[in-house]
Amino acid sequence: MNLAKTAIERPIWVAVSVVLIFLLGLLSIRGLPVQLFPDIDRPHLNITVDWRSASPQEMESEITDPIEQEMQGVQGLKSLSSNSYPGFTEIDMEFALGTDMQRAQLDVISRLNRVSGLPDNIGGPYVNNYSSNDTLTFFFIQQLPGAKGEIDDHQALIEARVKPELERIPGVSTVDIEGINERQIQIRFDPYRAAELGVEIPVLASRATTGWDVSAGTLDIGRWEYKLRFAGRYDVAALGDKVVDWRDGLPIYLRDVAEIRVAREENPVLRIQNGNTAIAAQIFKESGANALAALEGIKAKVGELNREVLEPVGLHMEQSFDASLYINRAVSMVTANLGLGVLLSCAILWVFLRQLKATLMIAIAIPISIMLTFCLLKVMGRTLNIISLAGIAFAVGMVLDAAIVVLESIYRRHERGDISKGEAALEGTRRVWTALVASTLTTVAIFLPVLLLNDVEGQLFADLALTIACAVTVSMVVAVTVLPAVAARWMGHERLIDPFERLWCRATRHVIRWTATAPRRWAIIVLMMTGPVLASWLLLPKMNYLPDVKRDAIDVWMSFTPGVNLKAQREEVIDTLIARLDPYMKGEKDPVLKNYYILRYPGGAQIGVRPKEESQIKVLEQLLMKQLLVGIPDTRVFGGQGSLFGGFDSENSISLLIQGGGLPELYQAARESMTIVQRDLPGAQVRPEPGLDFTAPELRLVPQDRRLAEVGWDRSPMPAIIQTFGDGLRVGEYFDGDERLDILLMGQASANPDELKAVPLSTPSGRIVPLGELLRVEPQLGPESIFRSDGRRSISLQISPPAGMSMEQVLDTLQHKSFAAIRPLLPAGGELRVAGNADSLQQALGNLGSIFLFAVMILLILLWGVFASLKDAVLVLLTLPLATVGGVLALHLSGLVAPLPMDLLTIIGFVILLGLVVNNAILLVHQTRMAEREGMSRQSAVTDALQSRMRPIAMTSLTSIFGMLPLMLSPSEGSEIYRGLATVIVGGMSCSTLFTLILLPAFLRLGEQTDIPHALRQRA
């Protein structure tokens, strides 16, 4: 015990070290990045492609499918999904954790270059490497009522002043400005005038560009070298003077058949905040940045920008989601629970010790261990978040265990009176050193499998495991250095009075009597080994994925009936919503709103609403879902309180994938499946992605080849002609010195199909024929978008469980009831499978099961090494079922008051229990074997172990339990994250402590026949 000896001999070194630990701890706290959750790496690559005017089917066949085929061989690819929308496709690639994303991105880019046959006039493909964990916050730049012009007119100001100022804030990496409608040059021609003048649309398209500038090298003239440059590009103002054709020797200018203007594109994406048209600013954080400090800096800079830059031109920037509120709330909540846990633990110490000096000597382990833990977190590059802080709060009672055992041993040795305080401190520490190392190793080693979890759950739990492991390890070092040094100088001559000494004696007498005969011992062993296993099996709660922690916001997803145009969506849906929310935003009605946003995109809208008062969130949810969002035509609404983990759905939602077959058959199967799921799960919200309305109207134009040949055309010019009557035909681009503008050739819009068929076209034959003679117009219905998962067309039913129903219960209902009714409905070759969080839960349970077994094996090996006896190691492990049943019982009893389903974080509580509950058994076995080596009989050794270790066992267990009790009972918002974990540990520790004192003596006394010692009877 060189550590203890050195500490006792050099107290000044110990004092200086403690002061340094406090100073470094304070510096570490200031330097640790603060955020809501740990950094969770979800490696993704995102491929996007634009193709003007293309239908979802064209996007799928011409772009999505060829790219997906090429991407199948990318190393590390875990899953591949895509959404094909009108004019746009998005392919999401999820990779396994640990994949080299730089290499993966280079591989994806290389493969994209090998994809052949992609259309010429597409935008992209673009590859983005993103992570939702990098998003720091969202702001909206609103156009205030009464401001002149359009919000898009301020594009240059926003990109030149707002974006760079925000990106210069420490902790901010980039700022994406979204929602600005780009400028374009629109050449709107009159098809009737063009036909009258004999101008063919293909000819008009080929000559409506601005031309281009060409460098022709150099030319030597005399002693000078001149650069030759052809200035062929038209200025926009002069574009109308361009000759597009000749008739009767006279030029036909572009201005004769078309109007030329610079205008903004019509974007289906519309952003509204608080009733005002807005532009979104998504702000990303740097890796390892202090999220809280960055958010405070952003808010201060936004206030400055509003005053000096935006409000003078009629704009205002406002935050949509403020993560700092949740960070501060979480930190305050955990800190308060931590402080209360410290007070309760110290109160338990006082109850048992009844001496201020002894209580303080043990309690000093708490601040020293916590400060040193902060230092270690800083060195290891971790962050302060709700998980790591909860780990420190959990460790409050645990860090006292070693100090209690050491001080108890020191006082026992000192009470003999034959040696000095320094010698007693050294001897007392040496006597329990082996047990301390064993208990610390078992507690810390149990976290090793958790740290090795190579998935998203492992990243989430790693901070908890690491923090507790660091705190417990540090506490042992403090117990064998600081505590002996303090005891050697501060310990009084008074005896450490045990107010419960008679209780321990009576308890020991009863235990020894209960285990006096072999039949009694075997009865206790059988009952206490089989009972907990059966009780755990019968009472085990159903599983959830993660704690369903809510935000102070209502998230709503609204789908539109396919085919409703943008103008009707704005007037009938968006404006109606704004009018209904307006009195609540102005404070004229309750609940008063803090803010809201509406994001319209193709096929639907996403809405986020936040109340001014947090307590009004449930009232707001009922108001929205039962009044404000009801009765809006051509819409379907899904919604509820948002999840703090992010995303529209809760962490316990289930994705049911229906795959295969043609689109009509797939959609029909999905519609019937949705009805079955809603029948079997009353109260569940079932949201299809994409929507199940296979009713997006389209006009299919079928070429009439014979008629085309008669007028001198074939099929080749027809797609370009049709595009001019839709979104416009891109014929070139123009650079004005600041930005590049697309040039679009656009015909006058038709009011109905008959008007489109009547549009006259000038043809190479010289005749003017209506478009309807060359193309047959067929009204059709199609999908709004096409979703594919791993290369197969799919419909995803997003199922949010009813209140009080766990994910496992939903899965059981689906697999044992719904699936039997759904499978006959699937198209030929169709497949039905569970995905999303439900799939993650099943994988995580498999991993955690392996971890549980691995942890038990680690414990067995460590205990075997400590005791040098496989038998004693097994004896200690046989107490584990007692802890399990305690945790399960605690969950069950808590569920009677409020639903408390078991989730992955709760399961980690059971893993933590493995390392905690064996400590008591280690103390008993260690003391028993040591007494036997000193010559005592088995019965006397067990009796001595119970009498000498019952008080430290009670103290360590109760300080741990009461240290965690605030985390278990906290009513604060967000405490759901660790309430289940705390409940398991409190219940498991309580049950294990109580029954281990009965079960282990029964095991230890197997094979001995000695009667109850006379000395014990006399003492009791």
Which residues are CB-contacts of 790 (< 8 A; sequence separation ≥ 6)? 79, 80, 81
Quick one: tokens of 772? 């309807």
Quick one: tokens of 621? 């949810």
Nearest to 349 by CA among 341, 701, 783: 341
- The whole-number pLDDT of residue 648 equals 47
Question: Within 13 Å of residue 161, how many CA atoms lie on the same side as its CB?
Answer: 17
Alpha helix (H) residue ranges in 140-187: 155-157, 163-167
| 135-143/696-703 β-pairing | unpaired
Residues of the chain with pLDDT under 50: 648-649, 1010-1020
- DSSP tag of 749: P
- CA gyration radius for the chain? 37
Specify the 3-state DSSP secondary structure of 829. coil
What whole-number distance in Å separates Cα of residue 589 and Cα of residue 544? 38
What whole-number distance in Å separates Cα of residue 334 and Cα of residue 386? 7
CB 605 within 8 A of CB 596: no
Question: What single-letter amino acid sits at 646?
Answer: G
Domains detected in the chain:
131-181+267-321 (3.30.70.1320), 184-264+703-776 (3.30.2090.10), 325-497 (1.20.1640.10), 501-545+869-1020 (1.20.1640.10), 550-695+785-806+813-828 (3.30.70.1430)
- The whole-number pLDDT of residue 111 equals 92
790 Rama sector, left if φ>0, alpha if ψ -120 to 50, beta otherwise: left
User: Looking at the DSSP assignment, which residues form a beta bridge with residue 316?
Assistant: 142
Quick one: tokens of 193? 């005038």
- The whole-number pLDDT of residue 973 equals 67
Three-state SS string over 78-128 comes to EEEEEEEECCEEEEEEEECCCCCHHHHHHHHHHHHHHCCCCCCCCEEEEEE
What whole-number distance in Å separates Cα of residue 631 and Cα of residue 599? 20
Alpha helix (H) residue ranges in 214-314: 254-257, 291-305
Nearest to 42 by CA among 456, 655, 387, 654: 456
- DSSP tag of 545: S
| Buried/exposed code over 740-777 (b: 16+ C-beta within 10 A; e: otherwise) | ebbbbbbbbebeeeeebbebebbbeeeeebebbebbee
Q: What is the pTM of this model?
A: 0.79
pLDDT (tens digit per residue) in 518-563: 888 899 888 888 888 888 888 877 778 877 777 888 888 888 877 7
Residue 640 has φ and ψ, to the nearest 5°, of 170, -175
Cα dihedral 709, 711, 712, 718 in deg (nearest 10): -80
